[in-house]
Amino acid sequence: MQRVTVEYMNYFAHGIRYLSDPWFLAGTATPDWLSVVDRKVRLRERYLKPFQSSEDPRIASYASGVLQHLHDDQWFHDTVAFYEITSVIADCFRQLPDQDDGFLPGFLGHITTELLLDRLLMEQYPGVIDQYYESLEDIPPSTVEEFVNQIAVRETTQLAKFITIFQEVRFLKDYLDTRQLLKRLNQVLHRVKLQPLPDRAELTLESAWKIVRERGWELLPPEKYPLNHPGFHTTQRKRTT
SS3 label, residue 42:
coil
Q: Are 194 and 4 in contact (CB under 8 A)?
A: yes
State the Cα–Cα distance between residues 234 and 71, nearest whole angstrom: 22
pLDDT at 9: 65
Residue 103 makes CB contacts below 8 A (sequence gap 6+) with 93, 96, 194, 195
How many alpha carbons fall within 13 Å on the CB side of residue 180? 9
Residue 6: is its pLDDT beyond 50? no
Note the pTM of the prediction, 2 decimals.
0.88
Helical axes 105-124 vs 128-136, angle rounded to 10°: 100
Q: Which comes out higher in pLDDT, residue 3 or 169?
A: 169
| Burial (Cβ within 10 Å: 0-12, 13-18, ≥19) of residue 25 | buried
pLDDT tens for each residue of 181-219: 999 999 888 888 888 899 999 999 999 999 999 999 898
pLDDT tens for each residue of 19-75: 999 999 999 999 999 988 998 999 999 999 999 999 999 999 999 999 999 999 999
The dihedral over CA atoms of 212, 71, 34, 129, expressed in degrees to the nearest 10, equals: 50
Asked whether the CA dihedral 136, 138, 141, 147 is positive or negative, the reply is: negative
Q: pLDDT band at 2, cuts 50/70/90?
A: very low
Closest residue by Cα to residue 45 from 18, 68, 22, 16: 68
State the Cα–Cα distance between residues 76 and 70, nearest whole angstrom: 10
Residue 149: is its pLDDT beyond 80? yes
First CA to last CA distance, the chain: 49
Q: Are 122 and 9 in contact (CB under 8 A)?
A: no
Residue 14 Cα distances to 121, 132, 208, 224, angstroms: 11, 11, 20, 12
pLDDT tens for each residue of 83-114: 999 999 999 999 887 666 556 889 999 999 99
